[in-house]
Amino acid sequence: MQTNFTEAQLADPGVRVAEKILRACVHCGFCTATCPTYVLLGDELDSPRGRIYLIKEMLENDHVPSHEVVKHIDRCLSCLSCMTTCPSGVDYMHLVDHARHRIEKTYRRPWLDRMLRSAFDWTLPRPHVLRAMLAAARLVRPFARLAPKALRPTLDLAPKAVPSPSPMDRPQVFPSQGPRRRRVALLTGCAQRALAPEINEATIRLLVRHDCEVVVAEGSGCCGALSHHLGRDALAFARANVLAWMREIEKDGLDAIVVNASGCGTTVKDYSFLFRNDSELAQKSLRISALTRDVSELMSEIGLQAPVNPSGRRVAYHSACSLQHGQRVRGEPKRLLEDAGFLVVEPREAHLCCGSAGTYNLLQPEIAGRLRDRKVANIEATAPEIVAAGNIGCITQIASGTSLPVVHTVELLDWATGGPRPRNLAT
């Protein structure tokens, strides 16, 4: 694609990167067929190619974006399905990230939208605050119909019971069960700690059982993805994590940084890009990103122990977009589940997003609801007993549309190799 930026515009490193990405797009439109919003809405401006045009116009003309432009960019899920499809290797992720930051800096949203975004940006990365908000949401839920329309999706998605904080999420070291084969740091994260603390607990038990020493590093926490995808500044979160894990590397070395929420994993693997112009953190973040593994990648490297709880249960594996498109991790979780004795089925349209996408289901409930219903219908058509996914956002989203138990892949692996039955599974 031809671009027309001035030298002054290209002096901005963000615009320079965007220009290179724009030039790689050849308008072929292959990406439209696999874009969930285009599939649903059929509007070119809700396709990757259409959005690329809008972003080009916005950046080249230094426009304050119009309501229309913001609407179509906001409707993008950042699912990155288009990146999997694109034959020209267009780096849509960094382009849309840049566009979201530009919008956040220049466009004044309606006050309720501003308030909601600020509330999510502040609440979700802080588990103790989120827990308090979820408890309050439970009390308010019976009166949800009286709440402003924009708040109802948040109330609907709040869990019926708020789990207690897990002591395993505190900074500490869990020794390996047998002789130490690896020393790994676990990103315990933020919203997941409040919504489903059992996922970190299962991860730690599984890794320890497979002779990993697991470190929850002092000072690590939210990866910054939620803020980043809202177009806000995520550098403070990312910086804290890089420095916390570097301290662990200097103390006793680390073989991997393990992430069990794939939305977070995509972001941590991209820290090296985030800090590419930072003289202090560029090298450190390169090292951190290179060490980062989704838990299914690490477990595939280690090899799963023979199951002690063979179940033969039929599991529909939902491939989170951030795992399949963001990190290109596709076969590992399915193979691990099979090794653990489950019968794995993959629903149709596995490449399409479930509508969760960070805060998307809270900010774009109509499209998110349609995507969820489509995903659930495809999952239920495989007649599974259990649904497994590797991302808390997908788990919450899919569970809100089905009576099937939805669990994290790692909970099933833990159960099969000697851990407790996942909380969400009936006997």
Q: Which residues bind ligand SF4 (CB under 6 A)?
A: 25-31, 35-37, 48-49, 51, 76-82, 85-86, 88, 90, 92
Q: Residue 359 to residues 73, 80, 411: CA-CA distances in angstroms?
A: 14, 16, 24
Lay out the sheet containing 386-389: strands in order across.
343-345, 314-318, 386-389, 406-408
Q: For residues 225 and 240, what is the distance between their CA atoms, to the nearest angstrom?
A: 14
**Distances, alpha carbon 125 to alpha carbons 156, 192, 227, in Å:** 20, 9, 8
Separation between Cα atoms, residue 23 and residue 4, nearest integer Å: 10
Strand pairing report for 212-216 and 406-408: unpaired
Q: Which of 384, 248, 252, 261 is nearest to 313 (CA)?
A: 384
Do residues 194 and 137 lie in contact, with contact meaning Cβ atoms separated by under 8 Å? no
Instruction: Provide the H-helix boundaries in 225-281.
Output: 225-229, 235-252, 262-268, 271-274
Tokens of 193: 């700690």
Coil, helix or strand at residue 201: helix
Burial of residue 408 (number of CB atoms within 10 Å: 0-12, 13-18, 19+) = buried
What's the closest the beta carbon of residue 282 comes to ligand SF4, in angstroms?
27
Please give the distance of CA 376 from its chain centroid, rounded to a whole number. 19
Minimum distance between the CB of residue 38 and ligand SF4, rounded to whole angstroms? 6
SS3 content of the chain, % helix, strand, coil (to 5): 55, 10, 35
Q: How far is the CB of 63 from ligand SF4 (least distance, A)?
A: 20
Burial code (b: 16+ CB inside 10 Å, e: under 16) for 137-147 equals beeeeeeeeee
Residue 50 beta carbon to ligand SF4: minimum distance, rounded to whole angstroms: 8
- The Cα–Cα gap between 359 and 393 comes to 9
